[in-house]
Chains A and B, each alone.
Chain A
Amino acid sequence: MTRTAAPAPTGTDDPALDVEGLCVDLSTPLGTVRAVDGVSFSVRRGRTLALLGESGCGKSMTALSVVGLLDPAARVTGGAVRVRGSDTLRLSPAERRKLAGPVLSIVFQDALTALNPVQPVGRQIGEAFRIHRGLSRREAREKAIELMTRVGIPEPRERARSYPHQFSGGMRQRLLIAMAVALDPDVLIADEPTTALDVTVQAQIMRLLRDIQNERDMALVLITHDLAVVAQRADDVVIMYAGTVVEKGPVRDVFSAPRHPYTQGLLDSVPEHAVRGRPLPAVPGSPPELSAVPPGCAFQDRCPLVRERCVRERPVLRPAGEGRTTACHFAEELTHA
């Protein structure tokens, strides 16, 4: 693979992507609700960060606001998203377009709908080269074939003429990855890249993502609700609940000694710990409606440790051990439990 993109001007210790205090409001018929509330995280090149949480906890919304694809009903109301030293939320659309692709890029969950059904895949993969590098159709095609070879599509030259529906789910996901890494981005966001695939293919896709990440020294933001994927693949994890970050830290530490009851609940619900014949353990209840998040801790209704203070006062993220933060008043109790 040729590396034509200039290396990041920032030093290696600076984060490739730095999200700070991101807030996203959603307008609904019942009023405005806050879907993402003060989310912060950062990731360096070569590292993998996992955004973990239940459906509707705001992880995809976070990803979409980072790449600037929010629905018109949603609006970023605060925070900053820094890549290569500029805040993408404050750039003009034309300046953003220059960053999209060479700096920041995304792999979607549903590969079939993310590919144009009436265009040969070769042309779609080559599109990025035609826009950012001004290559001719023929040159872009060669580049696309090169990428298809890299992501493991057999007979790429012939398959470049095929249409998306003629590929299997796993192959389509490979095509999406090819498209996303075409311009060698600093940061690759993968929004549940394996959710729609069966388990064996999931493993292949995750391996491919890892290989490409190592090869190109990218920062990877992995959005998922699959604890196993996080445990295997991520360096750091950000656990989200009802639009806020509840715990953050290195995966190894967080998973071995969670400092937030929600994290604890998630880990307990992994079937490996289950006893045959008993119901699977799960976090009781369901996340609060975004329009009716209680004034204190968002997790209070489902928390085994809930006290009077949790109802009154919303916990803020505070340090809890080396490189870790948690948003629980009683994190210490979990540590010693």
Chain B
Amino acid sequence: MSEGITMPGEEHSAGLGSGAEAAATVAGAEAAAPGSGTEAAAPASGAGAAARASETEAAARASRTEAADRASGAGAADPALAPGTEAAPNPRDARTSRWWRMLGRDRAAAVGAVILGLVALVALFGPLVIGDRAQRQDLDASLRPPSLSEGVYGLLGTDVLGRSVLARLVEAAATTLSVAVPAVLCSLAVGSALGLWAGYHGGRRESLAMRVADVILSFPSLLIAVVVLYVFSPSALNIVLILAVTRIPVYLRTARAEAAELRSRLFVDAARTFGTPSRKIIYWHILPIALPTLLTVATLDFCFVMLTESSLSFLGIGIQPPEVSWGLMVAQGRQYLQTAWWITVLPGLAIVLTTVSATVLAAWARIATDPAQRWRLTLPTKRRGASAAVPPELIP
């Protein structure tokens, strides 16, 4: 299935270009970012005119394109993709391969997925490979710039104590992700559950949940973090917990707003007319619609959490040396910025790349999980022209 993801270098840079665009938006206005991501993801081809056509027509067209795809051998690598997939003995396989194909259609998202995959792999297995290189000092090799002649560990230069920046980046990836990912997941789960419950029921329960959110929001999150981490030891677990708690209101408010709007929809009424209990209405009818929005918020928040973690580390109450995180590396390298840019810029770049990838992938996921928009990802992209439903190598 990887043929959908690997692509020529030229397209690679194009994908990164639109990624950078999204990055600018992230820096500018948080809320606008998903929008620009979507634009980058949605192919604005001639076939895009179908977007303006009626929905049914569009859906029909999408399925036709899909059929054309199958017939043209784009998915011939997988026998489950033969026409009549619906009746295939294992529909789960067919579904998985359809996801891969949709990912392949959106280059920016595919690049984002590859980058995130690499970061995750590095975070998981990197520390095993590098051993103690991240801590090994060599004062003779202090502040060496990136070079090709110093072996693998000199590739990205060294810091003031002569430690390999590459090795430290790898080790920091593990620390950063092990703080940011659990923190985001915790606040996502708790905040969404509370918010959906509050928004669906309304009334007193809603007021209660919103007041809790207000209380959390009324303290500057950094202040809570400083107080709590000063009183308790600044262990990784405490950092995760404090970051999770301070970010709960973001999800709580979003989820509440979505649920409050959705609860008055007719299909929720319809579910009530045949006696579906509230808990199941939230789980079956409201969560699936609110989830893409919440996930988009979560990826944006992922950046925020990484940056907060670096602020905490910078203040000396976050990750404690000799452990290292990307944020801490930026903080430590700041004083050498004029003489040794690589110590600061490279971890900064790692943060930006990871967050942009997550954002782009989130924009893709939002379209891919929406049944009414999914067809966009089955259309051929603009660059290949109007006849693109047939891969170029098959055109005689």
Contacts and interface: CB of A to CB of B under 8 A. Distances in A.
A312 interface: no
Interface string B252-283: 00000000000001110111111111001000
Given A113-B265, A124-B267, 8 more contacts: A69-B273, A97-B275, A100-B272, A100-B273, A115-B270, A163-B371, A166-B56, A183-B274
What range describes how many residues of B lie at the interface? 20 to 34
Q: Which interface residue of A67, A100, A106, A166 has the most chain B CB atoms within 10 A?
A: A166
A183 B274 CA distance: 9
A69 B274 contact: no
Contacts of B273: 67-69, 100-101, 104-106, 180
In this complex, the interface size class of chain A, counting residues with CB under 8 Å from chain B, is 35 or more
A179 interface: yes
A101 B371 contact: no
Contact of B274 (A117, A118, A132, A161): A132
A119 B285 contact: yes
Given A119-B284, A163-B372, A179 B269 contact: no
Given A119-B288, A163-B372, A98 B275 contact: yes
A131 B274 CA distance: 9
24 contacts: A68-B273, A69-B272, A96-B275, A105-B273, A108-B270, A113-B265, A113-B266, A114-B267, A115-B270, A116-B267, A116-B271, A116-B284, A116-B285, A116-B289, A118-B370, A131-B276, A158-B86, A161-B86, A165-B56, A165-B59, A165-B371, A165-B372, A168-B56, A180-B274
Contact of B270 (A131, A166, A179): A179
A131 B270 CA distance: 14
Contact of B271 (A110, A127, A158, A183): A127
Contact of B275 (A100, A108, A113, A124): A100
Nearest to A120: B371
Contacts of A106: 270, 273
B266 A101 contact: no
A132 B280 CA distance: 13
Contacts of A128: 274-275
A131 to B, nearest CB: 5
A182 interface: yes
A155 to B, nearest CB: 9
Interface in A159-175: 161, 163, 165-168
Smallest CB-CB A-B distances: 3 pairs: A101-B274, A97-B275, A100-B275
Contacts of B21: none
A218 to B, nearest CB: 15
Interface of A: 67-69, 96-101, 104-106, 108, 110, 113-119, 124, 127-128, 131-132, 158, 161, 163, 165-168, 176, 179-180, 182-183
Contacts of A132: 274-275
Contacts of A118: 288-289, 369-371
B221 to A, nearest CB: 33
B59 A166 contact: yes
Interface in B269-315: 269-277, 280, 284-285, 288-289
A131 B277 contact: yes
A108 B274 contact: no
A105 B273 CA distance: 6
B55 interface: yes
Nearest to A123: B284
A127 B265 CA distance: 17
Contacts of A166: 56, 59
Nearest to B371: A163
Nearest to B267: A116
Nearest to A132: B275
Nearest to B95: A161
A179 B274 contact: yes
Contacts of B370: 118
Nearest to A103: B275
A69 B275 CA distance: 11
Contacts of A104: 273
A269 to B, nearest CB: 30
Contacts of B289: 116-118
Contacts of A113: 265-267
